[in-house]
Chain A
Amino acid sequence: MDIQSLIPLMYLVASVLFIFGLKKMGHPRTAVQGNLLGALGMLLAIGAALFDVNMQALAAGFGVDRTHYVLIAIGIVVGSVIGAVMAQRVQMTAMPQMVALFNGLGGAASVLVAGGAMAQDATPTITELVATAASAIIGAVTFWGSLVAYGKLQELTWFKRPYPVPAGQLVNALLALLTLAASAWLVAENSLPAYIVTALLASVLGVLLVNPIGGADMPVVIALLNSYSGLAASATGFAIENNVLIISGALVGASGIILTQLMCRAMNRSLTHVLFGVMDAGGASASTDEVYATVRSTTPDDVAMILDGAQRVVIVPGYGLAVAQAQHAVRTLQRVLEDRGCTVEYAIHPVAGRMPGHMNVLLAEADVPYEQLKEMDEINPTMSNVDVAIVIGANDVVNPVARTDPKSPIAGMPIIDVDKAKTVIVLKRSLSPGFAGIPNPLFAAPNTLMLFADGQKGVLELNAAIREASK
């Protein structure tokens, strides 16, 4: 058997390794192994590609220039070093922008590959041309959209607020039409300039599409861009007729779509509303003063006394906890409570962080065992058995208005039912509203006590008070 017939088999094995790797991502115990399987698959695919080049060159009637292998080696080393340094240095709180950036790079690479392959292929089939156009559009949208998402998540001053584009949706629609026209030109004429025009138009479209999308919707955008980066790879696979690209791209595309759906459902937002930056306008809700008339504030010492008799405590973290870097303090709180025979669990809302599953990673970094991280659907039915629920840095995801007021902007959004717990402690700096911009009646509920403090400092004071009380 010669190496020529081995190459497709190597690609196949790589694809299988990717699928097994993703399958093993299904449990924290096997996930590390799954990731390594994926990396192994990638290594195999790269190895196959290096020999594939020879074969394709031979089929075209020329040999591969050795200097090109040097180029490939340079690219691999430089890219690996940059990627490794970035992966080592990134803070877990900055993970969303990191993933956005990597998505974008993948998209950009797909655009370049499709363009380069088009320049090399003298007699492309119509399928290849259509795929090339798709690759240009999806890849460019992914790249530029991801860069804007990165800027927003990194809170760079340029991206603080969306650029006002007059009649934004009309402009987007026109741009989309122009992009399609350019790709039609590309397919009809097999022209490289048309390819460049298509990619450029799609770039502008990518920027404008993500531009109006606000902070709370970022988890959806990242998941969607993740899906796009896969689809771009898949389109490139069609363009250069390579199955491993088609398969892996499809896997990633499917994964991104699933996560996008989950995020939309968790926020009770439709994808179209997210994409077009529509904030679901609410009816007249009660005024802030009215809602907060009966708010009761408390002190760490009082909370320590309440916790003294508690058997089951649930901690509900929000992104505010991560902003205040309070994860480790919360982990200590958990230990202090557990030492006194109390059961402690964490109730994690799907959009508690800034990307799917973000809060779990932040807590895992603080050594919270994953068994204690409970999903919303898992913990809600048992919420009435909870003695004390401690809400830290979360707001909209525990707002009971989502259940009670059908006119509210968050009506129907699934929430963690902390209001059903016997006592609720809300640790928060002030009564300021969350992303939805509405007051939260939970804060004024008869079973709620507000502990006004900065996240980390508040938890540390609470820990000290509990230790003091148990002496």
Chain B
Amino acid sequence: MPTSYADPLIWGVIAAIGLLTYLIRLSFIALFGYVDEIPDGLERVLRYVPPAVLGALVFPAFVTIAPGAGGLEADRLVAGAAAIGVAWWRQSVLATMAAGMGTLWLVRFVVLPAV
């Protein structure tokens, strides 16, 4: 489904997204350069940014509960569960990737076609 937008419009969209994204990235990094002391309360809250955002990025990729989408997608659910187990057990990116992709392909190409 190639777009019917002309080239200059595409470049305009890329530039707009790029500029706004850069301002988001720069925001507090620039601001805190001018502030003397970062409030204790804020630092406490910021500690929860990594787990909360990463959790919100990870789980929807494994579990889909979209109305009308036909419920759970078995291959991603099973592969996600296997990857979570290995990630917890081994704490290794390589092992996590291998378990996740390996299980996804196993379920998608071997198990699902057989049932």
Do A and B truly interact?
Answer: no
